[in-house]
């Protein structure tokens, strides 16, 4: 383990050990809200990752110039700027995605995942490590959203990424597409992740 | 004092930079965004009025509507946005009627927030298709199961309230558009 | 007029409950709901900030952003307003109501990153609410949040003594309870009908 380069470790921890959704339980609002379809989960994951990577890089570059007392307002300003850019870009180039994600795009600003990474990591580490950390966290977040989206879409409409998977004999569990389904499926998935984690730990 | 100055300077600098960057990005994207919004209305209007190639936005009183013309610049009909409360939120639907206001030429639900998998089916093609060609002279009725009379709409299974809400909205707004005497009647 | 305001209020508290329908404020909903007292304090602190944010956001939108033609600064402006308001409210309470500050002081800074508040500010603009409606909407949304988090805390205090499967302990079972609560609130969907 000691031989793994630091930067790779920073990247990899976001995928499983410190997966933002399944382990750290942050950024839950978009996780639950947009995952009635895998595609929307992917779009939200990518939008959040972009904002996270951009903000982390900028914050890390200027980490010595930003006074401690106003670091939180400064981070929020930087994040809000990038989120507005994402929002305008989506409205211009991908109006359908923009319409689907709707009010949840501006909420990326207050996603605790992004602000949390600035506070815990980017403001204290050199730029290349901050970028690697952001990339890993963003990817971990995106994978979690897509996974939850796939489960809900499969059970709720019998499709994955809009491709029909389950035959006509399958009666969709409509509840999976509604808010209660979102809470229930995420709760059960957390349980499963815990079991898998315990098995992995038991082996090693 | 020095500290206060540094804090103020940093925040101002970030705010100014952010404003400047966003202004530039906005300038680049605003054309596309406006074009997308226009395209959305256009697509909806043309889809509810087959044969329409051109439209003109007009208002009479508080009522806004689109006069639609075909390629020979002849009036094909009127399209308008109808709006009302569905099961839990507002439903917006574009309705097309012919120039004599006697027939519905088509509808297209453009915004709603109904239950996914149930009420949300109001925006599916087969449900919208039912309205095509129905008379605008009498009120539409909602029935469960196959329609057996004229001007009946088959409700979505498990979503009678959403279906009823949409039918009510369309009935009410067609009345309203008739009151404003748009189209060939004027 | 009054009827409309009541409708906006009921819709915000029950039918379109921010937590259980729109998934807003999930972080405090999961994090601060382990005991009843802190849940109620968090709820009221949030309601308080939301009731003030609503009219301020409305004024910023109508008197500043629209007048100057700067729609793209909406997100940035609103989040600054919320962050400053939270700070300001904290200072005022600390100065004049020290007892109240002791009770909900630690929750105030957390409110800035509660997405319910930013969502509320953006929605009242999007839905073109009047000033009065916005205030009712802000207050109602806050109460809806308080209601959800209080119910949750009450249930979780009982769950403490139950035998929960090991893998679901903590957040897992909380989310499943939230799902069942959301199911109840779905049933409230037909509570209001406007025609």
Cβ contacts of C175 on chain A, cutoff 8 Å: 183-184, 186-187, 190
H or E segment to which residue C25 belongs: none
Helix axes A71-93 and C74-96, enclosed angle (nearest 10)? 150
Burial C2-34 (b: 16+ CB within 10 A, else e): eeebebbbbbbbbbbbbbbbbbbbbbbbbbbbb
Cβ contacts of C194 on chain B, cutoff 8 Å: 85
Burial C77-108 (b: 16+ CB within 10 A, else e): bbbbbbbebbeebbeebeeeeeeebebbeebb
Give long-range contacts, CB 8 A cutoff, 24+ apart: C125-130: C125/C57, C125/C58, C125/C61, C125/C74, C126/A103, C129/C8, C129/C58
Size of interface A-B (CB pairs under 8 A): 62
Report whether pLDDT(B182) > 80: no
Decide which of C189 and A131 is more confident. A131
CB-nearest partner of C195 from B18, B19, B168: B168
B76 three-class SS: strand
Instruction: Tell me how far apart the alpha carbons of residues C179 and A180 are, in angstroms, rounded to a whole number.
Output: 4
Regions of chain C short of the pLDDT cut 50 = 194-195
Q: Are A152 and A161 in contact (CB under 8 A)?
A: no
Cβ contacts of A54 on chain B, cutoff 8 Å: none
Q: For the residues A58-74, what does the mean pLDDT come to?
A: 89
Q: For the residues B31-51, what does the mean pLDDT come to?
A: 86
Report whether pLDDT(B181) > 80: no
Q: For the residues A142-152, what does the mean pLDDT come to?
A: 94
Instruction: Tell me how far apart the alpha carbons of residues B135 and B142 are, in angstroms, rounded to a whole number.
Output: 14
**Are A181 and C179 within 8 A, CB to CB?**
yes
Of C167, B48, C195, the closest CA to residue A199 belongs to C167
Query: What pairs with residue A156 in β-bridges?
Result: none
CB-based contacts of A93, cutoff 8 Å, min separation 6: B32
Q: Are A34 and A145 in contact (CB under 8 A)?
A: yes
**Are A74 and B40 within 8 A, CB to CB?**
no
Q: For the residues A94-98, what does the mean pLDDT come to?
A: 89
Could you please report the per-residue DSSP string of C165-181?
Answer: -GGGTTHHHHHHHHHHH
Residue A87 in contact with partner chain B when CB distance is under 8 A = no
CB-based contacts of B107, cutoff 8 Å, min separation 6: B48, B93, B94, B95, B96, B128, B131, B132, B170
Give pLDDT, residue C146: 95
H or E segment to which residue A192 belongs: helix A179-203
Query: What is the domain partition of chain A in residue ranges?
Result: 6-203
Give pLDDT, residue C192: 64
Give pLDDT, residue C107: 72
How buried is C154 (Cβ within 10 angstroms: 0-12 exposed, 13-18 middle, 19+ buried)?
middle
CB-based contacts of B48, cutoff 8 Å, min separation 6: B79, B94, B95, B96, B105, B106, B107, B108
Give pLDDT, residue A1: 44
Whose structure tokens read 């180039």? A93
Give pLDDT, residue B102: 83
Q: How far is A110 from chain C (nearest CA, A)?
A: 5
Q: How far is A68 from chain B (nearest CA, A)?
A: 9
Q: How far is A28 from chain B (nearest CA, A)?
A: 21
Q: Which residue of A has its CA nearest to C113?
A: A110
Q: How far is B116 from chain C (nearest CA, A)?
A: 12
Complex ipTM value: 0.86
Q: For the residues B28-53, what does the mean pLDDT come to?
A: 86
Side-chain half-sphere exposure of A13, counting CA atoms within 13 A:
16
pLDDT digits (tens, 9 = 90+) for B69-93: 888 878 888 888 888 888 767 888 8
Of B19, B79, B25, the closest CA to residue B49 belongs to B79
φ, ψ dihedrals at B108, nearest 5°: -150, 115
B97 three-class SS: strand
Is pTM, for the whole model, over 0.95? no
Residue A147 in contact with partner chain B when CB distance is under 8 A = no
What Cα–Cα distance (Å) separates residue A139 from each residue in A15, A18, A112, A126, C107? 7, 12, 16, 20, 31
What Cα–Cα distance (Å) separates residue A158 from each residue in A28, A147, A166, A169, B118? 25, 15, 5, 10, 15
**Are A88 and B33 within 8 A, CB to CB?**
yes
Instruction: Tell me how far apart the alpha carbons of residues B127 and B106 are, in angstroms, rounded to a whole number.
Output: 11
CB-nearest partner of B18 from A67, A81, A177: A81
Q: Are C138 and C120 in contact (CB under 8 A)?
A: yes
Give pLDDT, residue C195: 38
φ, ψ dihedrals at B153, nearest 5°: -115, 135
CB-nearest partner of B19 from C73, C189, C190: C73
Instruction: Tell me how far apart the alpha carbons of residues C41 and C44 are, in angstroms, rounded to a whole number.
Output: 5
* Lowest mean pLDDT, pick from A77-86, B108-117, B164-173: B108-117
**Are C189 and B87 within 8 A, CB to CB?**
yes
Cβ contacts of A20 on chain C, cutoff 8 Å: none
Residue A45 in contact with partner chain C when CB distance is under 8 A = no
**Are C75 and A109 within 8 A, CB to CB?**
yes
Residue of A95, A123, A185 to mutate when probing chain B, most B C-beta within 10 A: A95
CB-nearest partner of A36 from B26, B29, B116: B116
Cβ contacts of A178 on chain C, cutoff 8 Å: 182, 186
Q: Are B36 and A91 in contact (CB under 8 A)?
A: yes
Side-chain half-sphere exposure of A170, counting CA atoms within 13 A:
13
Report whether pLDDT(B1) > 70: no
What Cα–Cα distance (Å) separates residue A156 from each residue in A147, A151, A164, A170, B142? 14, 8, 12, 10, 27
Query: What pairs with residue C99 in β-bridges?
Result: none
φ, ψ dihedrals at B64, nearest 5°: -105, 140
Give pLDDT, residue C55: 94
Q: Which chains touch B (3 or more CB pairs under 8 A)?
A: A, C
Residue C1 in contact with partner chain A when CB distance is under 8 A = no
Two tokens, residue A36: 């009635």
Cβ contacts of A190 on chain C, cutoff 8 Å: 168, 171-172, 175
Two tokens, residue B28: 């680049």
CB-nearest partner of C122 from A106, A181, A184: A106
Report whether pLDDT(B185) > 70: no
Q: For the residues B40-57, what does the mean pLDDT come to?
A: 82
CB-based contacts of B51, cutoff 8 Å, min separation 6: B70, B76
CB-nearest partner of A67 from B10, B25, B29: B10
| C-alpha dihedral (A192, A195, A201, A203), degrees to nearest 10 | -110
Q: Which chains touch A (3 or more CB pairs under 8 A)?
A: B, C
- Chain C, residues 86-145, CB within 8 A of chain A, namely 112-115, 118-119, 122-123, 126
pLDDT above 90: percentage of residues in chain C: 31
Give the best-scoring range by mean pLDDT among A121-135, B30-44, B130-144, C34-48: A121-135
Cβ contacts of A199 on chain C, cutoff 8 Å: none
Instruction: Tell me how far apart the alpha carbons of residues B92 and C80 are, in angstroms, rounded to a whole number.
Output: 33
- The beta-strand segments (E) located in B42-159 are 54-60, 63-69, 75-85, 90-98, 104-111, 141-143, 152-154
B66 three-class SS: strand
pLDDT digits (tens, 9 = 90+) for B125-167: 888 888 888 887 788 888 888 877 778 888 888 888 888 888 8
Report whether pLDDT(B186) > 50: no
């Amino acid at each position: 383990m000691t031989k793994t380069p630091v930067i790779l470790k920073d990247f990899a921890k976001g995928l499983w050990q410190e997966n933002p959704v399944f382990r750290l339980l942050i950024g839950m609002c978009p996780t639950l809200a947009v995952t009635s379809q895998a595609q929307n989960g992917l779009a939200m994951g990518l939008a959040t990752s972009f904002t996270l990577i951009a903000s982390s890089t900028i914050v890390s570059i200027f980490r010595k110039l930003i006074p401690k007392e106003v670091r939180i307002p400064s981070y929020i300003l930087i994040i809000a700027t990038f989120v507005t850019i994402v929002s305008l870009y989506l409205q211009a180039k991908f109006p359908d995605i923009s319409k689907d994600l709707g009010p949840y795009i501006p909420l990326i600003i207050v996603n605790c995942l992004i602000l949390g990474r600035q506070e815990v990591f980017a403001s204290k580490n050199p730029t290349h490590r901050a970028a690697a950390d952001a990339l890993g966290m963003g990817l971990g977040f995106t994978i979690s959203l897509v996974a939850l989206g796939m489960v809900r879409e499969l059970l709720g409409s019998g499709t994955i990424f809009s491709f029909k998977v389950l035959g006509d004999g399958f009666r969709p569990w409509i509840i999976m597409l509604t808010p209660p389904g979102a809470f229930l499926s995420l709760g059960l998935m957390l349980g499963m992740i815990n079991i898998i984690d315990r098995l992995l730990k038991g082996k090693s | 004092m020095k500290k206060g100055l540094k804090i103020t300077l940093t925040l101002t600098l970030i705010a100014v930079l952010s404003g400047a960057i966003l202004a530039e990005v906005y300038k680049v994207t605003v054309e596309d965004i406006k074009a997308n919004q226009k395209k959305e209305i256009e697509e909806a209007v043309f889809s509810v009025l087959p044969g329409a190639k051109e439209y003109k936005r007009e208002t009479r009183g508080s009522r806004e509507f689109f006069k639609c013309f075909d390629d020979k610049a002849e009036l094909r009909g009127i399209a308008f946005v109808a709006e009302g409360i569905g099961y839990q939120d507002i439903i917006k639907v574009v309705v097309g009627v012919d120039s004599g206001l006697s027939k519905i030429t088509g509808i297209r639900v453009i915004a709603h927030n109904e239950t996914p998998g149930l009420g949300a089916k109001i925006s599916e093609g087969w449900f919208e298709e039912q309205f095509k060609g129905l008379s605008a002279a009498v009120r539409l009725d909602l029935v469960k199961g196959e329609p057996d009379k004229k001007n009946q709409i088959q409700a979505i299974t498990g979503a009678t309230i959403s279906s009823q809400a949409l039918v009510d909205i369309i009935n009410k707004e067609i009345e309203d558009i008739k009151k404003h005497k748009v189209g060939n009647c004027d | 007029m009054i009827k409309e305001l009541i409708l906006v209020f009921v819709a915000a508290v029950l039918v379109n409950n921010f937590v259980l329908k729109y998934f807003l404020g999930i972080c405090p909903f999961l994090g601060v709901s382990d005991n009843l007292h802190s849940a109620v304090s968090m709820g009221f602190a949030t309601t308080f900030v939301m009731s003030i944010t609503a009219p301020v956001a409305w004024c910023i939108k109508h008197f500043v952003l629209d007048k100057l033609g700067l729609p793209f600064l909406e997100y940035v402006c609103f989040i600054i307003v919320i962050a400053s308001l939270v700070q300001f409210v904290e200072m005022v309470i600390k100065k004049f109501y020290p007892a109240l500050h002791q009770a909900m002081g630690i929750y105030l800074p957390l409110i800035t990153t509660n997405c319910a508040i930013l969502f509320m500010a953006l929605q009242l603009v999007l839905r073109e609410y009047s000033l009065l409606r916005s205030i009712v909407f802000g207050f109602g949304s806050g109460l809806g949040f308080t209601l959800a988090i209080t119910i949750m805390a009450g249930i979780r205090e009982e769950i403490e003594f139950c035998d929960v499967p090991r893998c679901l302990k903590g957040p897992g079972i909380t989310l499943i309870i939230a799902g069942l609560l959301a199911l109840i609130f779905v049933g409230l969907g037909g509570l209001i009908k406007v025609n």
